[in-house]
Amino acid sequence: MKGIAHDDVMAEIFRKDPAYAIALLNSILEDGDQGELLVALRQMTKAFGGAAKVAEKAQLNSTHIYRALSAKGNPEIRSLTAILKTMGLRLAVQPIQGVAAGA
């Protein structure tokens, strides 16, 4: 795959193996690294046809998608939810193992 950009390679992997994409997103969310999350979401957006197509399906402006998923982006929860929905995904809340409720 010499000469192919890393993001393009990852987008192709996500297209071929959606379960891997889900596992990767969950791992990133568990670690709490927003920068990594935005990189993965940009790559997934590419896998789903690019920002313009995802924006159209999510009923968002494509410029908004580019900004939200940029290196300095900070997407609102409704934008993130809309973007994930176009990919057939959603956010979920799970208990942290070993942490008592209310602690």
- Each residue of 66-100: pLDDT tens digit? 999 998 999 999 999 999 999 999 988 888 777 66
pLDDT surpassing 90 at residue 7: no
pTM of the model: 0.82
Q: Predicted confidence band at 101 (pLDDT cuts at 50, 70, 90)?
A: low
Chain-centroid distance of CA 99 in Å reads 26
- Residues 6 or more apart from 27 whose CB is under 8 A from it? none
Q: Are 45 and 82 in contact (CB under 8 A)?
A: no
CB atoms within 10 A of CB 84: 17
pLDDT surpassing 70 at residue 50: yes
- Residue 93's pLDDT is what? 84
Chain-centroid distance of CA 4 in Å reads 21
User: Which residue from 36, 88, 33, 28 is spatially nearest to 57, judged by alpha carbons?
Assistant: 88
